[in-house]
Amino acid sequence: MRYERPNIAAMRGYSYGEQPSDSAVVKLNTNENPYPPSPKVAQVLRDFDVETLRRYPDATASGVRRTISQQFGLDPSETVITNGGDEGIRLAVNTFVDPGECVAVTSPGYSLYSIVAAVHQCEVYEVALTDEWQLPEKTSNLLNEQGVKLFCIENPHSPTGALFPLHALAEIAESFSGLVLIDEAYVDFVDPALSHDTAKLVAAHDNVLILRTLSKGHSLAGLRLGWLMGHRDLIEPIATKTRDSYNIDTIAQRVAAAAIQDTGHAHETWQRIRAERSKLECSLIGMGFHVANSQTNFLWARCPPQVDADTIYERLRRQNILVRHFSDPPRISQFLRITIGTPKQNELLATALSQMVADP
């Protein structure tokens, strides 16, 4: 006898990037930051008094919230801390979309949005990106025609690495009748010369929610801490009703506050990753890959015609190098998504790839 709801029985779960236990693996498949977290994190953990765990955590993670609001120039009522960015996605769907209503996602895009929507029995509308991985013209008209309630958009985008300009998002927020969830999981890696500052959108639009996470930029994927920023009327129902009562544990709160305050350390890793990104991009292009401009900590590379992406993925894997390959939708099956690693890891990858391209 199966007891789950029919929509749960019918859906597929999230497909995780491989997490090997062997530390010798060159792991360029899940966009983790290759550099360690801030030394302040180690300090907090060393000094942590275990007795503290006897009590429930600060229910609203007020310390982290204060730190974040100060950093973004927001009021604490305009942000809510979540158990990883992923919880922010689930909370946005559960709080703002009725079962049967429609969630829009980009295709290709982060597969978790559709999974969260399926659990909540929502319809999913896919906005197909153009061949240059841009949003189609009049995206907001499409969303309005489909009666979309919530549009989830990664910016910079995953898996393509593209950054949508602020004015494009502002235009959508302006003319779309639903909510826009801007998923900024990778925004830390955007070139500072682009002056990309989305906090402005929060002030200007009451239908914009911004998602952030410490997983990528702060090297804390294992901690599970993210947050949503938006108009207080969007944040309030999440903060007071739909999130779990104690969604952030005490250790995560302490560690997060220390990591966020150590802006120097984080910025240094971002800068190193951007420099390595340019280097790896050049070497891949030299081998015949087509590489889209990336503002993230990964490259989205189309394999040269003489080689098959899935074969390359498998051959790299046999050499203990993991990258990500998606066979669905078919138009991305010739692409690899490659996380920027340490200089040494990137070199190992580049050497392996150049051999495979020379000897397909």
Q: Decide if 163 contacts 154 (C-beta within 8 A).
A: no
- Judged by CB under 6 A, the chain residues 147 through 206 that form the site for ligand PLP are 154, 158, 183, 185
Select from 171-179, 211-219, 235-243, 330-338 the region that touches ligand PLP (CB under 6 A). Answer: 211-219
Q: Does 215 bind ligand PLP (CB under 6 A)?
A: yes
Among 85, 161, 230, 341, the residue binding ligand PLP under the rule CB under 6 A is 85
Calpha distance 115→195 (Å, rounded): 33
Contact string (CB under 6 A) for ligand PLP, positions 35-74, x = contact: ----------------------------------------
DSSP state of 52: G
Select from 67-75, 160-168, 210-218, 269-277 the region that touches ligand PLP (CB under 6 A). Answer: 210-218
Question: 309-318 and 343-358 helices cross at what angle (nearest 10)?
Answer: 120
Q: How far is the CB of 351 from ligand PLP (least distance, A)?
A: 27
Among 37, 161, 178, 226, the residue binding ligand PLP under the rule CB under 6 A is 226
The runs of H, that is alpha helices, within the chain are 6-10, 39-47, 62-72, 84-96, 112-119, 139-145, 166-175, 199-204, 232-237, 250-261, 263-286, 309-318, 343-358
Q: How far is the CB of 34 from ligand PLP (least distance, A)?
A: 15
**Single-letter residue type at 340:** I
Beta-carbon contacts of residue 1 (< 8 Å; ≥ 6 apart): none
Q: Which is nearer to ligand PLP, 157 or 315 (CB)?
A: 157
The DSSP string of 247-293 is: -S-HHHHHHHHHHHH-HHHHHHHHHHHHHHHHHHHHHHHHTT-EE--
Q: How far is the CB of 87 from ligand PLP (least distance, A)?
A: 7
Judged by CB under 6 A, the number of residues near ligand PLP is: 14
Q: Does 84 bind ligand PLP (CB under 6 A)?
A: yes
Q: How far is the CB of 212 from ligand PLP (least distance, A)?
A: 8
Q: Which is nearer to ligand PLP, 101 or 183 (CB)?
A: 183
Beta-carbon contacts of residue 304 (< 8 Å; ≥ 6 apart): 287, 288, 289, 357
Q: Does 86 bind ligand PLP (CB under 6 A)?
A: yes
Write the Ramachandran bin of 141: left for phi over 0, alpha for psi from -120 to 50, otherwise beta.
Answer: alpha
Question: 263-286 and 250-261 helices cross at what angle (nearest 10)?
Answer: 80
The first and second tokens of residue 209, run together, are: 């929610």
Q: How far is the CB of 260 from ligand PLP (least distance, A)?
A: 14
**Single-letter residue type at 72:** F
Among 25, 124, 166, 221, the residue binding ligand PLP under the rule CB under 6 A is 221
Q: How far is the CB of 305 from ligand PLP (least distance, A)?
A: 29
Q: Which is nearer to ligand PLP, 178 or 226 (CB)?
A: 226
Q: Does 213 bind ligand PLP (CB under 6 A)?
A: yes
Q: Does 110 bind ligand PLP (CB under 6 A)?
A: yes
Q: Which is nearer to ligand PLP, 88 or 356 (CB)?
A: 88
Q: Decide if 184 contacts 211 (C-beta within 8 A).
A: yes
Q: Does 32 bind ligand PLP (CB under 6 A)?
A: no
Contacts with ligand PLP by CB under 6 A lie at 31, 84-86, 110, 154, 158, 183, 185, 213, 215-216, 221, 226
